[in-house]
Amino acid sequence: MTAATISRDVKAGRVTAEDVVARTLAALDDSRALNAVTHVHADRARKRASEIDRQITAGGDPGTLAGVPFAAKNLFDVKGQVTRAGSRSTDTNAPAGKDAFAIRALESAGAILVASTNMDELAYGFSGENAHDGDTRNPRDPTLSVGGSSSGSAALVAAGAVPVALGTDTNGSVRVPAALCGVAGLKPTYGRLSRGGVVPFVRSLDHVGLFATDMRDLALAYDALQGRDPEDSVQSARPRERAGPRMETTLPIRAARLGGYFDGPLHPDCRTATLAAAQALRAEGPVTLDHAEAARAASFILTTAEGGQQHLPGLIADPDRFGPLVRDRLRAGALVPATWTARAQKLRRRVSRELAVVMRQYDVLLAPATPCPAFPLGTADWEVAGVTLPIRLGIGMFTQALTLTGVPIAVVSRRGETSGLPVGVQIIGRPFEDATVLQAARRLELAGFHMTSAVPEAIHA
């Protein structure tokens, strides 16, 4: 069931928020095999639902997301709990004094937090593997990677357990799992949404992002998440934009497909999906972004260097609390010389300018989200179109190349023609034109870029 439907039904009295929460808790229980959840906030959710029901009984309006259950990556603070960030290195941290801004924003609109979700340790990964909490399993096929690092949030939406979930995206951590799970995903413009109360990974690249069942739900949640947070010094002071009311626009959207670096290696399903999206939007092109490969290199450098600095105290004091997939990468990152990061920051300026020039002619650009559909969990090397990729890194090669520019990017997905697995397409917009990206994504959704939940609705309907 979509967030829009739940909210409408709760407000109309056709169902109570308490009933919605009870069904959602049952759905979370049913989806335990996915290992997508690190904590179920059952008591809190029931209490919140009862408040919303009382408000409605008294004639009040809880907001646009009345009674809508949502999950949040275990990187978002939840009052009274230690934010684990998928790591034992956080074991001795104090419990959060208040909820993250994004959780407060969604709950202000009537939504109900039901669960914190599994993730790649410290958000440093694309595979959904976690040495401490176990791997998240893909609802489309439990032997496959769900993508990461916002693995549990994407899995719960794909399984139909929640209609909306919060994630973060530094190099593709919303876009990759959205594509591999077959759900709608959005990485808004850098600085658009507050990161207040979110454990940092790479401060110059971290974004709060989100997943939803469909594009209208994504817009509904995105609208609710906006708002100025005085505690986030990176957040833009630009006024809010309203994406929801503009989703069905018939205004022309000028689109082009990105070629060059984004042409491969590509699994046939990913290539076909990108071309189909281009055809549906009557996209021109291909156009090229000459600095795309260098942009990916720069993102890699900034990520390892800033991530290493972020966790240096823990690496010195208690390195054994870090899992093997991240510890030595963070150690290496802590040793990166300033010359390398300085060039990466210069490349950021260069590629952002290049992209801005390309986008003078187009409202959105299209590119594959990943080089291939979901790969088997535990895989290190995976062949894609004749090229062997170190897949834990390579699965993010097309998202990482764009993250440096900070532009808004949505992911739409559809079933791959040969694999039967979800494949995703990135829709790239101009800075702070997130609503245009969502409009284009909605058009693609209507053109067939949508997948239903992996678990029958009957389980929790």
Partner 1 sequence: MRTFPPPPPGFDATAFAKEAAQAIGLPLPAADLAEVALNLERTAGFAQMLAEVPGLDNEEPAPAFRPGEDAG
Q: Catalogue the active-site residues.
A: 73, 149, 173
Q: Which tokens in the block code for residue 26? A: 């049952």
Q: How far apart are CA 179 and CA 374, in angstroms?
A: 9
Decide if residue 312 touches partner 1 (CB under 8 A): yes
By CB under 8 A, is residue 345 in contact with partner 1?
yes
Which of the ranges 144-152, 157-165, 167-175, 339-347 carries the binding residues for partner 1, by CB under 8 A?
A: 339-347
366-380 burial by CB neighbour count: b if 16+ within 10 A, else e? bbbbbbbbbbebebe
Looking at beta carbons only, is 2 or 236 nearer to partner 1? 236
Among 12, 26, 33, 316, binds partner 1 (CB under 8 A): 316
Residues 29 and 25: their CA atoms lie apart, in Å, by 6
Q: Per CB under 8 A, which region of 24-32, 71-79, 82-90, 346-354 contacts partner 1?
A: 346-354
Q: How far apart are CA 410 and CA 212, in angstroms?
A: 11
CB 135 to partner 1: min, Å:
21
Burial of 410 (0-12, 13-18, 19+ CB in 10 A): buried
Give the residue, chosen from 123, 298, 374, 395, that forms a contact with partner 1 under the rule CB under 8 A: 298
Tokens of 346: 């210069």
Q: Does 104 bind partner 1 (CB under 8 A)?
A: no
Q: If binding is defined by CB under 8 A, does position 235 make contact with partner 1?
A: yes
Q: What is the DSSP letter of 66?
A: T
Cα 34 → chain centroid: 18
Minimum distance from CB of 100 to partner 1 (Å)?
Answer: 16
The count of chain residues that interact with partner 1, using the rule CB under 8 A, is 52
Element (H, E) at 384: strand 381-384
Q: Is 76 strand, coil or helix?
A: strand
Contact present, 345 and 400 (Cβ < 8 Å): no
Q: Applying CB under 8 A, does 431 fall inside the site for partner 1?
A: no
Binding mask 248-287 for partner 1 (x = CB under 8 A): -------------x--xx----------------------
Minimum CB distance to partner 1 smaller for 166 or for 404: 404
Read off φ and ψ for residue 125, nearest 5 degrees.
170, 160
Identify the residue among 45, 146, 159, 389 touching partner 1 (CB under 8 A): 389
Q: How far apart are the C-alpha atoms of 140 and 326, rounded to whole Å?
A: 27
d(CA 245, CA 435): 10
318 near partner 1, judged by CB under 8 A: no
Q: In this structure, are residues 386 and 251 in contact, taking their beta carbons and an 8 Å threshold? A: no
Q: Among 67, 333, 396, 422, which residue sits at the site for partner 1 (rule: CB under 8 A)?
A: 333
**Residue 40 bridge partners (DSSP):** 115
Q: Considering the rule CB under 8 A, would residue 325 count as an interface residue with partner 1?
A: no
Query: Residue 233 interacts with partner 1 (CB under 8 A)?
Result: yes
Closer residue to partner 1, CB minimum distance, 73 or 291: 291
Binding site for partner 1 (CB under 8 A): 204, 229-233, 235, 237, 261, 264-265, 291, 293-294, 297-298, 300-301, 304-305, 312, 315-316, 319, 327-329, 331-337, 339-340, 342-350, 352, 387-390, 394, 397
